[in-house]
Structure 1
Amino acid sequence: MKHLRTAAIAAALFTTPLAAYADQVQLRLISQEPGGSWYSYGSTFGEIIEASEGAHKLSVEVLPRGGGMTNPVAVSQGAADLGFVSAAAAVWARDGIGEEFKGREASNARAILGGLQLAYTTIAARRDYVERSGLKTFDEMVASDNPPRFVLKPAGSQVPILANYMFEALGSSLEDMRGRGAITQISTAQIAQMLRDATADVYIENSPVGQATMSEVTLTTPMVFIPASQKVLDHMTQLGAPEAQMPEGSYPGQDGAYLTSMTPTILIANADMDEEVAYQLTRALVEQRERIAATFPALADWNPEAGAQPDQAVIELHPGAARYYRERGWIQ
């Protein structure tokens, strides 16, 4: 009988998947509020990471909060292990640029994936407002004695800081425009309704093509995309948001390609993440590129090899990610 029990245990060991004996590692991935593209990406990225093979059995909790300005600090300080950020915000956070990051630099964040997608800074105005006011450019709107009612996301998103830089290029600021009664900052879920109700005139956003809120806004309210001057675009380039063309036909109401500034999205990790964990999840995400592209058209142009390079990864690579990229021959 003892021999039979021993044989049964041995058989169970041979039939139990090896993954069951891998080290269990719980990861927290910070995204943003529901309705944003990063929130949508989080679930799929989490599923891919959890299905990955390697020395660890990885599980992922997607945190449905955060934003462009919150996530670099959250990951750097260990409140999250992984997070989506814009490249510009990652640089601002690393270097302590701006009041948002003064004294809380994100020096402990490292890149996992670079160049996931391009996020375009858009200035969209209700068509009836433009026709009624006669203000057709961003520069004219800022200089007007009766400026439009701008609506943008609250603090925690990178949109307010980008808007501040745009106002700054024209001798103003977010605080100055707020003092003139021209700024409303509100949750993403309420923006489309404000524009439909004509309680806001101009929507400033920074997002990839197809982002849910911008899509809803342009489908439910006649909008036009407002150009900014070269002076504004040059100023944004100096601050890590280079000039780019949002492709023609990206949204209803867009007349031709839209000249603006952009920021690429990257996936970062805490620098203290175990190297083998970072290697395993990097490999899994890169090797599931086709699934990611099929699920999210906005990521269809993601090139993992290009994303591993300094101009798209932007900040220092995590050693685990760098090891995988070296194995692929993509970096030295």
Structure 2
Amino acid sequence: MKNLRNTALATILAAVPMSAWAQDATIRIISQDPGTGWYAYGSAVGEIIDRSEGEFNLNADVLPRGGGMVNPLAVGQGSADIGFATANAALWARDGIGEEFEGRSAENLRTLVGGLQAAYTTITARRAYVERTGLTTFDDMVNAENPPRFVLKPTGSQVPILADHMFEALGTSLEEMRDRGAINQISTAQIAQMMRDGTADVYIENAPLGQATMQELALTTDVVLVPMSDNVLDHMVEVGVPRIALPEGSYPKMDGDYASSNTPTILIVSTDLDDDVAYQITAAMVEARDQLAESFPPLAGWDPQAGAQPDQSVLELHPGAARYYRERGWIE
């Protein structure tokens, strides 16, 4: 699997040479495959860049490939000028953390726009399992002599990496839990069925509100959200995954807010991006905020001012973006 991912990454990184910054410039946006949210967002951002006003005549080219763990390296190595990424993956790429990024850190990554879309880490258990075992918290489940059957997405998703950090906070790891027979990694399409038929007990996910599997589970299976301790949530902050509250009512039968971790979608660039180009794109994005929110309900919660703050930008801001935010009085 890792060799396949590396081959795909090599193809992306070799795809296009670095653009030269002139008065006319093409901005390459790496998003994800057609049919995904990031691809749709990329097309909309491309149109915003095409219409942007300023010193540069910018034209956007949306690259219909990539993904959360690929895009940071594509931007860092110059095969794209802008990329969609989760803030934590961008941080891991910048610092060379984890097998995906070890030995090829992208120290030149910077944030252009932060906090575009929240993605919540959730732990969902079958109510029957909780009532039968009396295990009501994530910590209790992980530390139990007979842990539940956890189900999560396959390697290649960032969910296993997040889960590994969550287990690490409790003195174990994904690998150790796998050795105990407690981990089943399977395609998202099969997870809801496994929870319904009782072949899985607990589902670890990281996704925006309205994600299909979570919605299906909430509507078709008697499940509860399992709380994480401050120990787990604070550890996630340390690895670049800030805390957030999943609001009450986000899913049927949800009782109160749910303390969670957030992997916000951000727009990343490298330090090679011209400061004035970055300024022009940032201004255009902020000014198009209402248009984006109207076109894409998951982006309705994007607050550009909040997105400029360290907890949502996570990486250092690109100097051109920082200049725009400073002029707005949003940062010092």
- Report TM bin, short chain: 0.7 to 0.9
Distance in 2, Cα, partners of 1:39 & 1:133: 43
Q: Between 225-234 and 310-319, report the one with greater CA deviation.
A: 310-319
- 1:101 counterpart = 2:90: no
Which residue number in structure 1 is paired with residue 117 of structure 2?
A: 117
- Alpha-carbon distance, 1:83 to partner: 1.9
Which residue number in structure 1 is paired with residue 235 of structure 2?
A: 235
What SS does the corresponding residue of 1:203 show, helix, strand or coil? strand
Distance in 1, Cα, partners of 2:64 & 2:216: 24
- Alpha-carbon distance, 1:228 to partner: 1.8
Larger Rg: 1
Distance in 1, Cα, partners of 2:186 & 2:34: 13
Q: Percent identity?
A: 64
Within-5 A mapping of 1:241-320: 241-320=241-320
Gaps in structure 1 of 5+ consecutive residues = 1-21
Within-5 A mapping of 1:30-69: 30-31=31-32, 34=35, 37-54=37-54, 55-67=56-68, 69=69
The one-letter code matched in structure 1 to 2:60 is S
- Alpha-carbon distance, 1:329 to partner: 4.2
Distance in 2, Cα, partners of 1:185 & 1:241: 22
Which residue number in structure 2 is paired with residue 74 of structure 1?
A: 74
Distance in 2, Cα, partners of 1:194 & 1:38: 28
Distance in 1, Cα, partners of 2:45 & 2:265: 14
Deviation per CA, 1:121-144: give whole Å up to 9, x if none: 110123333344443221222123
Distance in 1, Cα, partners of 2:218 & 2:267: 28
Which residue number in structure 2 is paired with residue 192 of structure 1?
A: 192
The one-letter code matched in structure 1 to 2:64 is L
8 A Cα contact 1:46 1:62, kept in partner = no
8 A Cα contact 1:52 1:58, kept in partner = no
Deviation per CA, 1:45-81: give whole Å up to 9, x if none: 23333343442241232434412x3332232123333
The one-letter code matched in structure 1 to 2:61 is V
- Alpha-carbon distance, 1:246 to partner: 1.3
The one-letter code matched in structure 1 to 2:116 is L
What SS does the corresponding residue of 1:217 show, helix, strand or coil? helix
Gaps in structure 2 of 5+ consecutive residues = 1-22
Q: 1:194 to 1:24 in 2, by over 3 A?
A: farther
8 A Cα contact 1:120 1:246, kept in partner = yes
Distance in 2, Cα, partners of 1:295 & 1:43: 12
Distance in 1, Cα, partners of 2:91 & 2:104: 13
8 A Cα contact 1:49 1:60, kept in partner = no
Q: 1:25 to 1:170 in 2, by over 3 A?
A: same
- Alpha-carbon distance, 1:178 to partner: 1.1
Which residue number in structure 2 is paired with residue 175 of structure 1?
A: 175
8 A Cα contact 1:34 1:64, kept in partner = no
- Alpha-carbon distance, 1:179 to partner: 1.3
What SS does the corresponding residue of 2:312 show, helix, strand or coil? helix
Q: Between 196-205 and 243-252, report the one with greater CA deviation.
A: 196-205
- 1:130 counterpart = 2:130: yes
The one-letter code matched in structure 1 to 2:31 is I
8 A Cα contact 2:48 2:285, kept in partner = yes
Distance in 1, Cα, partners of 2:88 & 2:273: 23
Distance in 2, Cα, partners of 1:143 & 1:128: 19
- Alpha-carbon distance, 1:34 to partner: 4.7
Which residue number in structure 2 is paired with residue 88 of structure 1?
A: 88
What SS does the corresponding residue of 1:263 show, helix, strand or coil? coil
Normalised to the residue count of structure 2, the TM-score between the two structures is: 0.81
8 A Cα contact 2:34 2:40, kept in partner = no
Deviation per CA, 1:165-189: give whole Å up to 9, x if none: 1111222110011112222223444
Which residue number in structure 1 is paired with residue 216 of structure 2?
A: 216
What SS does the corresponding residue of 2:101 show, helix, strand or coil? coil
Which residue number in structure 2 is paired with residue 14 of structure 1?
A: none
8 A Cα contact 2:240 2:314, kept in partner = no
Count, aligned residues: 309
Q: 1:325 to 1:197 in 2, by over 3 A?
A: same
Deviation per CA, 1:278-304: give whole Å up to 9, x if none: 333222211110112223333323221
What SS does the corresponding residue of 1:75 show, helix, strand or coil? helix
> Once superposed, what is the RMSD of the aligned Cα atoms?
2.7
